[in-house]
Amino acid sequence: MQPFLFQKRLFTKPVFETKAAKQSLYLYPNLMQQIKFFVVLLSFTIGQLAMGQAKKSVIPFQLTAYNNMVIKAVLNEKDTVQLMFHTAANALTLTEDATKRLKSLVFDQATEGIKSWGGGTNEARMSNNNSLQIADLQWKGVTITENKNSGQNTDGKFGIDLFKDKVIEMDFEKNVLIISKKLPRKLKKYEKLKLTNDNDLLFVEASCEIGDKRFSNKFLIHSGYAGSILCDDKFANDHQLEQQLQIIDEKTLKDSYGNTLKTKKAILPRLKIGSQLLVDVPVGFFAGALGRQKISVFGGDILKRFNIVIDAKREFIYLKTNKLSPSKYANV
């Protein structure tokens, strides 16, 4: 109680002005230590509040040989699943193979007319009012849609809609996603580029260079595509990519609902994203069915070569080359 009594005197008369105050200071030699303690305590409390306001969620991921970011998640506090982070998706989906073993899902709705990348419309089962946990983040009332395919060795995928109004950082050197409210301070070393946001699909402009010709286009940021570049039909046709580039391979791709498309694969001499130049980049474009592929894509084999920050408003992307930048392109 004595320190409290002394504090009462402290606020009724200025310290050191009276003989009584001087005697009190003599009687309480630990006063300065007490004041320092409360100052330190106050500073610590303010610091903790500031840290709480700037809290970050760090989500580990595994980068697979197919350039997919695979993240562990828990559904309904019971089922553990491996989900692919898909920057061009805005829904949580699970494959038919995965749903067969999950105990907590109840499919209470069917839907028709879902459009997919491979064309046409599809039917799917839906499960409503699920909970989802990823690292320290939790969501309630989540709808899950069932489809056929996802990234290799995954049970399904989720998109950027889970991180609405949050900054998304993809660090391919530490293999983590970092979700926060504010942009990190380290962005001085990153290049800032404008995003085009089309119904939550994020596009960045880049240029393809063949000889002395340069062709600009907007590319969808698509971590769900394992390859490097996929060009839309109009771009490939307008610039005669099949005639200007040497075709080295043909591949068959499948979308989430099992629809198949054949692509031709060639080597693009130079790709420029902002000031960053990539050389001898594999590029794909579709054979036949002209007009089906309406957007061009940057896949995981491009994205992994940069550490990436996307702002909370989805207006800008920040890029910095990382240690994966000089690595060979995958044959996927």
Question: Residue 124's pLDDT is what?
Answer: 83
**Does a structural domain hold residue 155?**
yes
Q: Are the CB atoms for 222 and 293 separated by under 8 Å?
A: no
Q: Which two tokens stand for residue 64?
A: 């697979």
In the listed set 180, 197, 223, which residue is the last one of a domain according to the structure?
Answer: 180
Q: How far is CA 207 from CA 40, 58, 276, 290, in A?
A: 55, 33, 11, 22
Please give the full DSSP string across 121-174, using - where no structure is assigned.
EEEEEEEEEEEEEETTEEEEEEEEEEES--STT-SEEE-GGGGTTSEEEEETTT
Question: Residue 59's pLDDT is what?
Answer: 99
Within this chain, do residues 260 and 231 fall inside the same structural domain, yes or no?
A: yes
Question: Residue 47's pLDDT is what?
Answer: 47
Q: Distance between CA atoms of 266 and 248, rounded to whole angstroms? A: 5
**Does a structural domain hold residue 12?**
no
**Does a structural domain hold residue 8?**
no
Question: Residue 144's pLDDT is what?
Answer: 97
Within this chain, do residues 149 and 174 fall inside the same structural domain, yes or no?
A: yes
In the listed set 121, 148, 180, which residue is the last one of a domain according to the structure?
Answer: 180
Question: Residue 51's pLDDT is what?
Answer: 41
Q: Distance between CA atoms of 263 and 251, rounded to whole angstroms? A: 5
Q: Residue 86: which of 258, 255, 261, 262 has the closest Cα?
A: 255
Q: Distance between CA atoms of 127 and 272, rounded to whole angstroms? A: 43
Q: Which residue has the tokens 């960053």?
A: 276
Question: Residue 55's pLDDT is what?
Answer: 86
Number of domains in the chain: 2
Question: Residue 261's pLDDT is what?
Answer: 74
Say what angle helices 2-12 and 19-27 make with each other, to 10 degrees.
160
Within this chain, do residues 192 and 153 fall inside the same structural domain, yes or no?
A: no
Tell me if residue 80 falls in helix, strand or coil. strand
What pLDDT, in 10s, does the model give residues 48-80? 434 444 589 999 999 999 999 999 999 999 999
- For the chain, which residues score pLDDT lower than 70? 1-54, 112-122, 255-258, 287-291
Give me the half-sphere count of Cα atoms (radius 13 Å) on the Cβ side of residue 215.
19
Within this chain, do residues 222 and 317 fall inside the same structural domain, yes or no?
A: yes
**Does a structural domain hold residue 23?**
no
Within this chain, do residues 112 and 193 fall inside the same structural domain, yes or no?
A: no
Question: Residue 49's pLDDT is what?
Answer: 39
Spatial neighbors of 63 by CB under 8 A, at least 6 apart, are: 69, 70, 172, 175, 304
**Torsion over CA: 171, 305, 209, 331 (sign):** negative
Q: Are the CB atoms for 234 and 194 separated by under 8 Å?
A: no
Q: Nearest 10 degrees: CA dihedral of 233, 236, 238, 240?
A: -140
**Torsion over CA: 281, 63, 171, 159 (sign):** positive
Within this chain, do residues 161 and 268 fall inside the same structural domain, yes or no?
A: no
Q: What is the pTM of this model?
A: 0.79
Within this chain, do residues 237 and 314 fall inside the same structural domain, yes or no?
A: yes
Within this chain, do residues 194 and 314 fall inside the same structural domain, yes or no?
A: yes
What pLDDT, in 10s, does the model give residues 187-206? 999 999 999 999 999 999 99
Within this chain, do residues 65 and 130 fall inside the same structural domain, yes or no?
A: yes
**Torsion over CA: 159, 162, 168, 170 (sign):** negative
Q: Are the CB atoms for 25 and 31 separated by under 8 Å?
A: yes
Q: Are the CB atoms for 156 and 92 separated by under 8 Å?
A: yes
**Does a structural domain hold residue 331?**
no
Within this chain, do residues 202 and 308 fall inside the same structural domain, yes or no?
A: yes
Q: Which domain holds residue 210?
A: 185-321
In the listed set 149, 180, 211, which residue is the last one of a domain according to the structure?
Answer: 180
79-85 and 62-63: which strand pairing?
Answer: unpaired
The CATH number for 157's domain is 2.40.70.10
